Structure 1
Amino acid sequence: MPEVRRSFCRFCHANCAMLVTIEDGRVTKVQGDPDDPVFGGYSCIKGRQLPEAHHGPQRLTVSQKRGAEGFADIDTMAALDEIAAKLGAIIAGHGPHAVAVYGGTYAFQNSAGVGSALAFAQGLGTRNIYTSVTLDQPAKVYTTMQYGSWMGGMHTFAEADVAFFIGNNPIVSHYGPPGGLPPFSPSRRLRDALGDGLKLIVADPRQSDVAALADIHLPVRPGEDPALLAGIVNVILSEGLYDRAFVQRYVDGLDALQRAVAAFPPAAAAARAGVEENQLVAAARMFANGTKGVVSTGTGPEMAGNGTLTQYLVSALNILCGRFCREGEKSSIPRVFTPVTPRRAEVAPPMTPYGKGFPASRFRGLTHLGMEMPCNVLADEILTPGEGQVRALIVIGGNPLVAFPDQDKMARALAGLDLLVAIDVNAESATAKRADYVLAPKMCLEREDISNLSEWWYEIPYARYTEAMIEAPEGLIEEWEMLWELAHRLGTGLPLAGGPCPMDERPTKEAFLDLMVAGCAALPSQVRADTVDGKAVIYPELHPIVEAGDPDAPGRFDLAAGGMPDRLIAYGAADQPTPDFPWRMVSRRSRHRFNSTGQNLPALRAKRTTNPAFLHPDDLARIPCGDGDIVRIRSAAGEVVAVARAAPNMRPGVVSMAHAFGDPGIGPEGVREHGASTNRLVSESVRYDPVTGQSLQSAIPVAITPA
């Protein structure tokens, strides 16, 4: 008889509550859990493919080793023996910095994945730890550390009467940054909030799903988000709409910001941003006149060439309007598995996010951003001889060949490694196909996990510890276990928040997680003990109340920090792009793709196989081409071909394609079946953010011609 058990999805970071139907040891169905107090039965099309993901023919169920005749099966433990021996020789000959570890988006879906990757790199002593965070949204890390943070937390979407989304389409992406729309039944939740009186502003060059619901849609010209935001700040300051008492008590640098935005009066800002002046002014007044609610961004604006400047202005807007929880209120996003910090009506002093004192790359003056190296130096670190050259790369749940800038350069880099190890559920990923070893891990319904990744969106103290639902194929272990086994063989350690991981005998997942999140409000072992029938555990007593701030505390927001006002002035004075590349390519999310993994599931491929170039019908006539024709898209760095698709919701002059697609081994003739990667249009060493190293990966100037 079928058995139905409770768990949660780990296909993406939303971690939706699921009912899992199991029959004869196989998952036959997953669906949203209607009794869950947060998700209320919601699930998405990608999450509902977990049965096929686990049992379909694309699933890698045995580890692989490359030989003269191609890949052959190898026992995972035997593979780890060989990999450890090769790593040991590389470290002995070239030092620990010769080894790099990359944790991709899929690595985050195992609750121990990224934590163990960081611990493994620290145990080796290598500076070369990378994650997908520095590919798409490093500016959020930078601004959080650079400008200080409010210890009581920002307003949540649940309490907002106004919301401002910039380049964020959470109905599709299931991504809601702090204060934004949480990924819990996002369409229904947004419509309910609008019905209750929420005012919604959306800035996006296309009429996205959320933009179609907005009170004000600002179809901003790609890459010109700073002009739009500077104009809005100008209006708020000139009309005195900001929270004067909050600014006087907690904010420095207002004069520097006022000086910078003086060059962006509404008419000039609107012209630069490509929006109507009256709409820009209306948006400024609508946001400032709200009582609660924040400005939030998606990944697109950060990838559009001025990521840190955009995020600085977003932070400035939230700070000017005082969009933070005050003394006596419940603190936002209580978090159960995150280290406990004081929740006070006070500004935590800023931290230095990068630069002097941080491990340095050999390239472009870039250093660690927080705990990791910018992804966009990895290819050069591999290709360039000398002390510190990366010779071995371990990829965990990622696909650098399709996700990193300059695909051909990354292909050369991967080919030049002495050792490439991919931990992946799919041997057909572009990176895995080029690996020396492909290690097959357990999948999500075959392992224990906690909801630590998604708790940045929970507005109540909600926690989950799920058990394994089914047995994994024989011989498979988890990603963190593979790293433990390598560290054990190399004689290195895994330093964790709660102390060194035991290295004499591999600990249980529960014990590892307890060490990894030590200092949190409730340890995973406690949540596991409190779990009944697989349901989420709610801890109302752990929801902190914002305490009074220390009147002598020195912390203040500094809007002049990091030289950002001067950068805004320089941005306003910069020459506009030449007409050689008259279109701007922007990134987009898809309901039927999961970043660089998961595209090969039959139900998802049935929806779309290629990576279309969405264009306004007027632009199709301008090229000229028809809907479904192949077009050639060229930038200063390279070119791709794509299938043109008419999209009336696009801003004219803008083309939109998904990021992280394609394989350089598949030529243009395979475009309809496989699609192409937009990273072939960008270079990490020509236009990049000088703070984070992030490449221009959206708002790319391109020319389009018939193919």
Structure 2
Amino acid sequence: MAVETRRTFCRFCHANCAMLADVEDGKVIAVRGDPDDPVYGGYTCLKGRELPDSHNAPHRLVRSLVRRDGDFIETAMDAALTHVADELRRIIVKHGPHSVAVFIGSGGYQNSAAWAASYSLAQAIGTRNFYTSVTLDQPAKVFTTQRYGKWMGGSNTFEEADVAFLIGNNPMVSHYSPPGGVPPFSPSRRIRDRQKAGLKLIVADPRESDVGALADIYLPVKPGEDPALLAGMLNVIFAEGLYDRNFVAAHVDGVAELEKAVAPFTPELAAARAGVEPDALRAAARMFAGAERGCAVTGTGPEMAGNGTLTEYLVTCLNVLCARFKQEGEKTAIPGVFTAQAPRRAQVAPPVPMFGAEGMARSRFRGLGQLGFEMPCNVLADEILTPGEGQVRALISVGGNPEVGFPNQLKMRRALDDLELFVQVDPWMSASAKRADVVLAPKQCLEREDITNLSEWWHERPYARYVEAVAAAPGDVLDEYEMIWHIAKHLGLQLQLAGGPLPMDACPDKQTFLDLMTAGCLVPPSQVRRDTHEGEAVIYDDLHPVVEPADPSESYGFDLAAGAMPEQLERYGRDEARGAGFDYRLISRRSKTRFNSIGHPLAKLRAKTTTNPAYIHPADLADLGIADGSIVEITSAHATIHGVAKASDKVRRGLVSMAHAYGDSEAGKHNVRELGGSTNRLTSDEVDFDPITGQALQSAIPVRIAAA
């Protein structure tokens, strides 16, 4: 049969790169970037280019598994879903609706319908226990945006920026940056092109990352000390009057309190604590504030380093004081074709209740509550293990890997084993799937329809894709939304989406689901599908929203003195000792060959990266008497893991840098070269957590290092 080439997009990660897929007899045999796409221009990363391996690997699950008498038995999908529904009904009748938890992880996020379907099921059951990977690595981004003020017109975009300030963000590897940062579409090329046009790049990172090597100013900040660096920069901006006085006067409260809080962080004191040169700190402050447009953004590292909410708050302060937002009459920052449209005005939006505010659900542990729609992941293990009203007895994990992704790994393993029902949606026998009672086998991305709703928060133009399935689904697999619909149907539940009730007499097609899911968006998915020609992207430039004048009847502003801020900065300034007896700090990093825990089963990616090396400065290795390439023990206050030492002069002295999401709970010295070590085993969900978001310390972890 002849090879057919079809246009599609990658769903290995959130970037959704445009692709050409070669298909023969219903089987994808090769993929490559689409050079004619107007945004991606042929770019893909090495992970995405392994989609054929992902779809065709012989060890991929193409039939569901149900555990019977301790052993997994291949089971028809319909029978497996009926079994799940029957068990859920039993558990809900016995323990109540809050006994069921739903978690959507990185894999689930790569299906355009999975989040909405998962949340709809949790709502229909009536459980407060809905979790996503957002609260594992970046809850403070959501919290600070809503707590301290959100500009309705959006932030400055990278395409128009004169300056970009990246704090612990390496988009060239992670393919991630918040709005205003570097879009993940060929990020290296975009940075270089913007630099040719005059962009100035500031990078703060404990190690000289790929993007740090391109910086005009590189600040090797100590891990966990980003607040000192940012407060010092704010000190300079206030002292030299570099902020936008007109914007601040019109839209910002709490400025006096912020100025008082940063006053002790003089450039010399702040630089000493942050581990940078005072002149470099001053230069960075002047470069950022002196530019006309641009944003400061963070990656996941600073949020996971113990002061995440404080760091995000100070980044918000930088952007607010320097007025890094779209103004009246300009095109909005991120149009969002599939996003429900709200007014785009030149003003601050009303505040949104967060984390256990009155009327919001609260956890039974550590005083933590909901972040918008979801509970913080760092209470889930305790919610499972602790008896009492509301104890979680059933968990549905949609594309997640709790054993590898959650803090306090061995505790999470105990929790998974303690469940009465653990359902894992997974195309692989991952570490978590091995612990499950039921493993449901999903379609993979090229076997299903999807839209680009999960990548559009980076698109600076109204770019949209609706792609068809280009490969035949093998075995007995379903799209995640279909699984959830069938479970709800068996339970007699009505699923609700933004556009109203989902038909429950027969499972709707995906277009129907997506249209209901995106109700109120700029262009419905069905219309994008009709507008699509031979799988090409559609750009609705004529529909790009424009920032409207402020509504005089609404008078909300940024409030930089709200809640626990800036008092938390003052407490931080008084308390810098942590981790006595542990002289090193372990910092997290991304791997070019993995997306969180996704990619480990793929042979070609494993051939490129078998483990997550422990990168250590050569001088530190010499002092420790450890040879490059040897196995080391890395010990925190909670546990010991193993790593393969790798010398790197791009890492500050006193640090060990390792990629997260490697190594299951069986990982140890004997298999570290094949599995890697789990950095999350070194952490605790009960101590060293952010008091506002509950996020556990997962970077800048105090450790000691020794030869194994």
Normalising TM by the smaller chain, what interval?
A: over 0.9
Task: Confirm or deny that 1:502 pairs with 2:499.
Answer: no
**Matches of 1:24 and 1:593, distance apart in 2:** 29
Counting only pairs closer than 5 Å after superposition, residues 278-427 of structure 1 correspond to structure 2 as 278-355=279-356, 356-427=358-429
Task: Give distance in 2, aligned partners of 1:551 and 1:97.
Answer: 43
Amino acid at match of 2:256: D
Preserved CA contact (<8 Å) 1:81 1:489: yes
Which residues of 2 match residues 446-465 of structure 1 at below 5 A?
Answer: 446-465=447-466
TM norm structure 2: 0.99
Aligned mates of 1:619, 1:592 — CA distance in 2: 27
Aligned 8 A contact 1:232 1:280 in 2? yes
Bigger shift: 57-66 or 115-124? Answer: 57-66
The one-letter code of the counterpart of 1:504 is: D
Alignment deviations for residues 393-427 of structure 1 (CA, whole Å, 9 cap, x no partner): 01110100010011110111011000111000102
Which residue identity is paired with 1:388?
A: G
Aligned to 1:620: 621
Distance 1:134 1:575 in 2: 25
Deviation at 1:352, TM superposition (A): 1.5
Residue identity matched to 1:168: N
1:523 paired to 2:524: yes
Pair 1:91-2:92 in alignment: yes
Which residue of structure 1 aligns with residue 223 of structure 2?
A: 222
Amino acid at match of 1:98: S
Between stretches 182-191 and 543-552, larger displacement belongs to: 543-552
| CA distance in 2: counterparts of 1:240 and 1:407, whole angstroms | 48
Cα deviation for residue 498 of structure 1 reads 0.4
* d(CA) in 2 for partners of 1:48, 1:459: 25
Matched to 1:415, the amino acid is D
1:93 is paired with a residue whose SS is helix
Shift of the alpha carbon at 1:144? 1.1
Give 1:306's aligned amino acid: N
| Residue correspondence of structure 1 range 155-194 to structure 2 within 5 A | 155-194=156-195
- Per-residue CA distance 1:49-106 (angstroms, 9 max, x = gap): 0001000123111111122362221001001111111110000011010010110001
Partner of 1:541: 542
8 Å contact kept, 2:384–2:391: yes
What percent of counterpart residues are identical?
Answer: 62
Measured after TM superposition, the shift of residue 553 of structure 1 is 2.7
Q: How does 1:207-218 map to 2 (within 5 A)?
A: 207-218=208-219
Q: Quick one: distance in 2 between partners of 1:578 and 1:180?
A: 33
The 5-angstrom pairing of residues 643-654 of structure 1 reads: 643-654=644-655
The one-letter code sitting in structure 2 at the alignment partner of 1:152 is G
Bigger mean CA offset, 399-408 vs 473-482: 473-482
User: What RMSD, in angstroms, separates the aligned Cα atoms of the two structures?
Assistant: 0.9
* Structure 2 match to 1:276: 277
- Cα separation, 1, equivalents of 2:666 and 2:309: 34
* 1:72 and 2:73 correspond: yes
Distance between the aligned counterparts of 1:619 and 1:195, measured in 2?
38
How far apart are residue 549 of structure 1 and its match?
1.4
For the residues of structure 2 that align with 1:161 and 1:295, how far apart are their CA atoms?
12
Task: Give the secondary-structure state (helix, strand or coil) at the position aligned to 2:565.
Answer: helix
Question: What SS does structure 2 have at the residue aligned with 1:506?
Answer: coil
Does the CA contact (< 8 Å) of 1:124 and 1:493 recur in 2?
no
Matched, 1:595 2:578: no
Matches within 5 A, 1:577-596: 577-596=578-597
In structure 2, the partner of 1:139 is 140
Q: Is the 8 A contact 2:667 2:676 kept in 1?
A: no
Aligned AA (1:242): Y
Cα deviations by residue, 1:127-178 (Å, 9 ceiling, x for unpaired) = 0000000000000110111012111110000000100000000000000211
Q: Which amino acid aligns with 1:494?
A: L
The reply to whether residue 17 of structure 1 matches residue 30 of structure 2 is no
Asked if the contact 2:631–2:669 (Cα under 8 Å) also holds between the matched residues in 1, the reply is: no
* CA shift digits 1:245-273 (9 cap, x unpaired): 00000000001101100110111000010
1:542 shift after superposition: 1.4
Q: Distance in 2 between matches of 1:176 and 1:453?
A: 13
Query: Contact 1:422–1:432 at 8 Å: present in 2 too?
Result: yes
Do 1:337 and 1:522's aligned partners in 2 also have CA atoms closer than 8 Å? yes
Which stretch of structure 1 is more off in the superposition, 363-372 or 544-553?
A: 544-553
Counterpart of 1:673 in structure 2 is: 674
| SS at structure 2 position matched to 1:48 | helix
User: Partner residue of 1:257?
Assistant: 258
CA distance in 1, matches of 2:554, 2:96: 44
Quote how far apart the aligned CAs of 1:474 are: 3.4
Shift of 1:351: 1.4
Q: Does 1:154 align with 2:155?
A: yes
Contact (CA 8 Å) 2:641, 2:668: kept in 1 or not?
Answer: no
Aligned twin of 2:482: 481
Q: Label 1:552 to 1:69 Cα distance change in 2 as closer, same or farther (>3 A).
A: closer
- AA at the equivalent of 1:310: T
Runs of 4+ residues over 2 Å off in structure 1: 67-70, 550-553, 665-668
Aligned letter for 1:399?
N
**Length, aligned pairs only:** 706
1:40 aligns with 2:41: yes
Letter of the 2:421 counterpart: L
Alpha-carbon deviation of 1:550?
Answer: 2.6
The one-letter code matched in structure 2 to 1:379 is A
Deviation at 1:305, TM superposition (A): 0.5
* d(CA) in 2 for partners of 1:70, 1:612: 34
Aligned to 2:432: 431
Give per-residue Cα distances to partners, 1:481-519, cap 9 Å, x unaligned. 111100000011211100111111111100011111101
Provide the C-alpha distance between the structure 2 equivalents of 1:303 and 1:665, rounded to a whole number of angstroms: 24
Deviation of 1:578 after TM superposition, in Å, equals 4.9
- Asked if 1 retains the 8 angstrom alpha-carbon contact of 2:611 and 2:674, the reply is yes
Gaps of 5+ in 2: none
Q: Distance in 2 between matches of 1:579 and 1:404?
A: 25
Per-residue CA deviations over 1:182-223 (Å, capped at 9, x if unaligned) read 000001111111111110000000000000010000000000
Q: Report if the CA contact (8 A) 1:303-1:698 is conserved.
A: yes
Contact 1:448–1:509 under 8 Å retained in 2? yes
Task: Specify the code of the residue in structure 2 equivalent to 1:395.
Answer: S
SS across alignment from 1:386:
coil
How far 1:571 moved relative to its partner?
0.4
Number of the residue aligned with 2:492: 491
- Cα deviation, 1:281-312, whole Å, max 9, x if unaligned, reads 00000000000000000000000001110000
- Which of 246-255 and 588-597 deviates more? 588-597
Determine if contact 1:157/1:182 at 8 Å carries over to the other structure.
Answer: yes
> 2:21 touches 2:31 (CA, 8 Å); kept in 1?
yes
Partners of 1:280 and 1:295 in 2: CA distance: 14
Moved more, 40-49 or 652-661: 652-661
**1:667 to partner: Cα distance:** 3.3
Task: Write the distance in 2 (CA, Å) between the matches of 1:678 and 1:354.
Answer: 27
Q: Match for 2:387: what amino acid?
A: P
Partner Cα separation in structure 1 for residue 400 and residue 237 of structure 2: 42
Distance across 2 between alignment mates of 1:247 and 1:551: 17
- Which deviates more from structure 2 when the two are superposed, residues 665-674 or residues 485-494? 665-674
CA contact (8 A) 2:39 2:185 kept: yes
Q: Which runs of 5+ in 1 are unaligned?
A: none
What are the residue-to-residue correspondences of 1:637-648 with 2, within 5 Å? Answer: 637-648=638-649
SS in structure 1 of the partner of residue 29 of structure 2: strand
Q: What's the TM-score once normalised by structure 1's chain length? A: 0.99
Separation of aligned partners in 1, 2:341 and 2:551: 18
Offset of residue 648 of structure 1: 1.1
Kept in 2, the 8 Å contact 1:398–1:597? The answer is no
